[in-house]
Structure 1
Amino acid sequence: MNGLTNYVSAGVLWLGLLMKAPDLVRHRHDPYLRTICAVLALAGLCFVLGAAPSVGAINEVSGVPNLAAPLTYIAITGYSAASQVLIVQWRGGSPERVRRTVRCWVLAYACVVVGIVTMFVLGDAPVERRTDLDSYYASTPYIREMILLYLLGHLTAVSVTTTSALRWARQVHGWLRAGLTTLGIGALCGTGYSGTKLVGVVARWFGHDWSALDRSVSPAAAGLGALLTVCGVLIPFAGPRLTEWRAARRTYLRLEPLERELDDLLTRRALRLPRPRWASPATRLVWRRTSIHNALSHLDAYVDRELYDETLRAALGTTGAPERAAATAWATVIVAAVAASARHETDHPAPVHLAGESDWFLDRAPDPDALVRIADALAAAPLVPDTVPGSRAMTAERSSPA
């Protein structure tokens, strides 16, 4: 038994702790965040202390046979207490009630810790058992009580966590519901850990050797429970961020036709900021929006308000949707303005504002949602209805190769 399952499980839990560490540094006085980190840290410690190589090393260094057992049981008890505190804080309520309930759980599990230490000191476990101590010493006075104390404490914690998480999951929605459901299933797997160990202990009382449950089934249930627990804790925090990233990326991609339409202008006038590398989708979206706004500001000198009004009226008559019609009108004016800008800059190094049209784009700057609709209109074909004067030529110009 090389303890690989234990160490992998501890790594998963501590990876979750590492993900939460920046938040803990920024909000170190947040009791809720501290409890989450304590749950992840103690759960990982349980797996490390319970691994066969760790058990052997602790016993050898200390010179006390099976000293690793009460240390592991104390870590499991601490994890159980932290789980109960987390559930209490998740439920919420009046601050005084939360503090009182937290104190009760902490006091109860502190008594369990004292009982574990006392029973180990009073008991006698001279034969080192690295993987099946629970079933091997199931009938040994005092050691038996120590084993029952930690198993019942753990079973109580995971049972309460399972019930509370799954019950609350039915009352909420979204990522919180997904996190609570995952956490509840993970805690249910945790009941498989202490439950199978208790079965093995009771079997020993009746003269049966079911130590295989102790060596194989319990670690597997604990490992799966650890994976699901860390996922359940992190999903409510990582989920909304993932949703924001997906929305930002989707918007970034939808704006591409508008930026592509403005690309030549952005290049000619050096209006585009350096493209961010290895940036988040939100940062890339800000960069693309900034480039678009820079180009639209430059196009004030070439706007054709009459074309906008004509296109808007025609699009309204065709679609009957004001937002869609406005996006089509904006797209039409932008295409015309880009073409006019290119022609004017060929003839004149410095563009001259058209009379009465100064700052037209700036005064009517589209909001972020409108920019997306304009990009969608640019991606559509044809751009505008044929009833708009000059639209046939404009559509042909956009469709012709450069």
Structure 2
Amino acid sequence: MTLLALAPSRLLGEFYISFWIPTAVLTLALLIKLPGIIRLWRDPLLRAVGGMLLLASGVFVFCAPSTIARVNRLTGVPNIAAPWCYSLITAMCGSCLLLIITWRNGPADRSPVTRRAIRWVVSVYCGVIVTLWALFLLADASVERLRDLDTYYATTPFMREEILLYLVAHAVACLVTSRLIWNWVRAEGLDAWLRWGLKLLGAGYVLNLIFDAGKLVAVGARWSGHDLDWLSTDLAPPVAALSAILVAAGFILPHAGQYLHDRWRVRCAHRELRPLYRLMRSASGDAVPFVLHARPELRLTRRETFIRDLLLPLARHIDTDLGRRSYDAALGLGHPPERARALAAAVSILGAIEAKGRTPEPPEAAEAAGPAAGADTTNLLQEIGAVSRALRRPEEIETVRARAAVPAAGVGVHD
């Protein structure tokens, strides 16, 4: 079944899936990378990423049938869009190889092998582009074909060689790039987000090889007098679209994934401190001043600072003996040492707040006494997250507190 036999609605759906959806995804990837590219323009790796994404977006824009027809009409030359699209595809292939070479070896690598590989890629793919235009000028391609040019002109002199040349150049680039990526995926010490990004890139380039295989089989079938045009017109475009989406996602994931992971970690840490923050706020009557549009990192820092600033004066009221008994009681209840320390610290803080409430002192006296007059709060200030998590289970704290209230009931073994 050929593309022309499809229903109009299906044609429209395949048109958007095959061309504009991957264009949108590739453009999104480019926009995400653009601030870093502009800020660090001297970085060859970022320039290579930007160039590859820009060329990939251009391929899907200019290979859309509507754009092909417009280019042919504006220039007045039937099928002039063919060498232009082939040149964009070839340039994208070269940029992919340059990107992987730069990315894999590092932007600072100036070894003879790396320089020789870069020169080889640039010279070969520039030569391919020049040859594509020369072959088009020699060929007779007067009948405009918007969707099936590869198979329609598969047996036409010079056009036949041009089509074969761009497909082989594309296949070789995808094969080498895919091999380099999958070798890199197996390397040790990679960040998890980078590893998954490389896996998506590798899958995208494997799909590119399926695109090339479909095109080459369809062209070869024309040479032998058979008709397998559907491989070129129906199968290859959606495969190329899916490949482009995976490649774009491979570039987006390491950046966006790490960014979202860091944001999520900061928000979780901020939410984790909420019980201890509320306890300190209720004890002091103060709160962290509200700041409009404050970044999550700033809100976390302000909350941590608020909690620590209020814990320091409480050191004078902390009963160290109660803390030891609470720790032993928590161990006796079957809690692991780390959890037992957090529960004991929570009991100590609650006891200090109550002791401070029973014997209030003037601010001048508290300032003169300083935190050194009380218990050592070094470990407590470092474990405010664990203490705050313990405060989420008030029933456990009350159980430990009740058991620690009678010294005889809290006998246990210290770690």
TM-score tier (shorter): 0.7 to 0.9
Q: Which moved more, 1:202-211 or 1:336-345?
A: 336-345
Which is worse superposed, 221-230 or 239-248?
239-248
Letter in 1 for 2:217: V
2:301 is matched with 286
Aligned match of 2:270: 252
Decide whether the 8 Å contact of 1:175 with 1:240 is kept in 2.
yes
SS in 1 for 2:385: helix
Return the alpha-carbon distance in structure 2 between the equivalents of residues 328 and 359 of structure 1.
23
Helix, strand or coil at the partner of 1:64: coil
> Does residue 84 of the first structure (1) align with residue 97 of the second (2)?
yes
Q: How much has 1:88 moved relative to structure 2?
A: 1.4
3-state SS, counterpart of residue 109 of structure 1: helix
Confirm whether residue 157 of structure 1 aligns to residue 170 of structure 2: no
2:260 partner letter: L
1:204-232 alpha-carbon deviations (Å, 9 max, x no partner)? 11222322222221110100000111111
- 1:58 aligned partner: 71
> What is the match of residue 382 of structure 1?
396
Alignment counterpart, residue 330 of structure 1, candidates 345, 352, 358: 345
Equivalent of 1:261, from 276, 279, 300? 279
Q: Distance in 1 between matches of 2:64 and 2:370?
A: 76
Q: CA deviation at 1:125?
A: 0.9
For residues 118 and 252 of structure 2, the distance between their equivalents in structure 1, rounded to whole angstroms, comes to: 22
Q: Which amino acid aligns with 2:168?
A: L
| Letter of the 1:142 counterpart | F
Query: Which whole-Å CA distance do the structure 2 matches of 1:318 and 1:170 have between them?
Result: 46
Alpha carbons of structure 1 residues 226 and 24: separation in structure 2 relative to 1, 3 Å:
same
Percent of aligned positions that are identical: 34
Distance 1:55 1:73, change over 3 A: same
Deviation at 1:53? 0.8
Give the corresponding residue for 1:240: 258
Amino acid in structure 2 at the alignment position of 1:26:
R
> What RMSD over aligned residues (CA atoms) do the two structures have, in Å?
2.9
CA 1:388–1:276 in structure 2 vs 1: closer, same or farther (change >3 Å)?
farther
Moved more, 331-340 or 218-227: 331-340
Structure-2 residue corresponding to 1:72: 85
| d(CA) in 2 for partners of 1:298, 1:272 | 17
1:398 — aligned with what?
A: none
Among 61, 66, 74, the residue aligned to 1:48:
61
**Aligned equivalent of 1:203:** 221
Distance in 1 between residues matched to 2:327 and 2:396, nearest whole Å: 15
1:273 has 2:286 as partner: no
Aligned with 2:245: secondary structure? helix
**2:247 corresponds to 1:229:** yes
CA drift of 1:39 comes to: 1.4
Q: Letter of the aligned partner of 2:127 in structure 1?
A: C
Q: Which has the higher contact order (CA 8 A, sep 6+)?
A: 2
Aligned residues: 386
Tell me if the contact between 2:281 and 2:287 (Cα under 8 Å) persists in the aligned partners. Answer: no
Query: In 2, distance between residues paired with 1:360 and 1:230?
Result: 60
Match of 1:296 among 304, 311, 322: 311
| Other-structure match for 2:204 | 186
2:186 alignment partner AA: R
Give the distance between the partners of 2:330 and 2:141, measured in 1 at CA.
Answer: 87
TM-score, normalising length: structure 1: 0.86
Counterpart CA distance in 1 for 2:121 and 2:342 is 60
User: Among 364, 373, 382, which residue is 2:386 paired with?
Assistant: 373
Task: Give, in whole Å, the separation in 2 of the partners of 1:301 and 1:367.
Answer: 14
